């Protein structure tokens, strides 16, 4: 009787060679293999792997290019009588986030430890103490209206007044970490939007549903250029006016349009 490693090797050879034979032959080969060697219910060899290899497997299994859509919803805050008021003073915009969950966080303790090194909890102050896990380096942030995140700050949560210092700290961290941003909906490239985007220090790509007016694109490039100029000046000031061949000038982000990110549902 063949051992497990032999079965795995046979299965691998069949899969590797299936691209070189016709679909009918490949189907028959796979059917025969399934009959002779039924698929395992679990990967029994995995616990026997060295921890270094298991960690590599977990890292390779992490989701990449995960999409995180941010929008807003109006909620009503109860008054003292416990009745929802129609007064706008007791309404507020709350950040709403829609994204697939990171399954590795709940697979086992080992996978969770690996996943948390990449997907750390974020935005807990804005989400009523229920943070989401974000990997800013690989995830795509889709924003449907900056006012939901920037201009309108949450006033209350279910436990009382929100810590505005924590909310502001989250905003600074968010702007510093986002790499890939998509702006959708009726969001116009006005002054507030330009300022918000320009403050994203490590932004690499900005994707829009339609092409920017030339004036807006020029404004963005001007703002990014001025930002880099300030970085050089601040570093020279820190070195007492001495110029250096190496400085932390950030590359100008790439502006792409709808066709540049076809997997987004517009």
Are residues 150 and 58 located together in one domain of the fold? yes
Residue 24 sits in the same domain as residue 111: no
Q: Please check whether residues 53 and 163 belong to one and the same domain.
A: yes
Provide the token pair at 184. Answer: 């959708």
- 35 and 63 part of one domain: no
Residue 69, in any domain of the structure:
yes
Same domain, 103 and 204: yes
- Which of 118-122, 128-132, 211-215 is least confident? 211-215
Describe the strand order of the beta sheet including 67-76 as a list of residue ranges.
91-98, 67-76, 140-143, 180-183, 205-207, 254-256
Per-residue three-class SS string for 178-220 = CCEEEECCCCCCCHHHHHHHHCCCCCCEEECCCCCCHHHHHHH
pLDDT-derived band at 121 (thresholds 50, 70, 90) equals: very high
In terms of domains, do 32 and 67 share one? Answer: no
Give the relative orientation of helices 4-17 and 23-36 as an angle to the nearest 10 degrees.
170
pLDDT at 99 over 50: yes
Residue 173, classed as helix, strand or coil, is: helix
C-beta separation of 216 from 197 below 8 A: no
pTM: 0.65
Number of domains in the chain: 2
CA 134/CA 68 separation, integer angstroms: 8
H helices of the chain, where? 4-17, 23-36, 51-61, 109-118, 164-177, 191-198, 214-238
- Whether residues 53 and 127 share a domain: the answer is yes
- 57 in the same domain as 36: no
Shared-domain flag, residues 31 and 65: no
**Are 198 and 115 members of one domain?**
yes
Q: How confident is the model at residue 2 (pLDDT cuts 50, 70, 90)?
A: very low
Domain residue limits at 100? 49-260
Q: What whole-number distance in Å separates Cα of residue 21 and Cα of residue 78?
A: 67
Indicate whether 114 pLDDT > 70: yes
The count of residues in the chain is 266
pLDDT in tens, 37-74: 565 565 677 888 899 999 999 999 998 889 998 887 76
Quick check: 178 and 136 in contact, CB under 8 A?
A: yes
Angle ∠(255,261,265) on CA atoms, nearest 5:
125
pLDDT at 191 over 80: no
User: Using 50, 70 and 90 to split pLDDT, how confident is the model at 201?
Assistant: confident
Using one digit for the tens of pLDDT, what is the confidence trace for 124-166? Answer: 887 877 889 999 999 999 887 665 565 445 555 555 566 778 8
Q: What is the mean pLDDT of residues 190-215?
A: 76
- Is residue 265 one of the residues assigned to a domain? no
């Amino acid at each position: 009787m063949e051992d497990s490693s032999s079965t795995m090797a046979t299965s691998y050879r069949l899969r590797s060679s299936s691209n070189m034979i016709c679909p009918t032959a490949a189907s028959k080969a796979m059917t025969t293999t399934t009959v002779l060697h039924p698929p395992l219910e679990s990967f029994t060899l995995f616990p026997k792997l060295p921890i270094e290899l298991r960690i590599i497997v977990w890292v390779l299994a992490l989701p990449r290019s995960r999409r995180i859509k941010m929008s807003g919803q109006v909620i009503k805050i109860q008054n003292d009588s416990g009745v929802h008021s129609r007064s706008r003073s007791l309404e507020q915009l709350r950040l709403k986030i829609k994204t697939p969950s990171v399954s590795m966080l709940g697979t086992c303790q080992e996978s969770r430890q690996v996943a948390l090194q990449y997907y750390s909890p974020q935005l807990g102050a804005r989400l009523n103490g229920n943070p989401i896990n974000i990997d800013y380096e690989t995830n795509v942030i889709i924003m449907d209206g900056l006012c939901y995140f920037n201009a309108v700050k949450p006033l209350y949560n279910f436990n009382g007044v929100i810590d505005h210092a924590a909310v502001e700290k989250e905003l600074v961290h968010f702007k510093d970490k986002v790499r890939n941003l998509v702006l959708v909906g009726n969001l116009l490239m006005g002054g507030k939007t330009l300022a918000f985007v320009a403050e994203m220090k490590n932004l690499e790509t900005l994707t829009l549903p339609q092409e920017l007016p030339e004036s807006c694109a020029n404004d963005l490039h001007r703002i990014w250029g001025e930002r880099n100029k300030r970085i050089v000046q601040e570093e020279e000031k820190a070195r007492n006016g001495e110029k250096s061949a190496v400085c932390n000038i950030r590359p100008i982000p790439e502006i792409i349009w709808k066709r540049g990110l076809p997997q987004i549902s517009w």
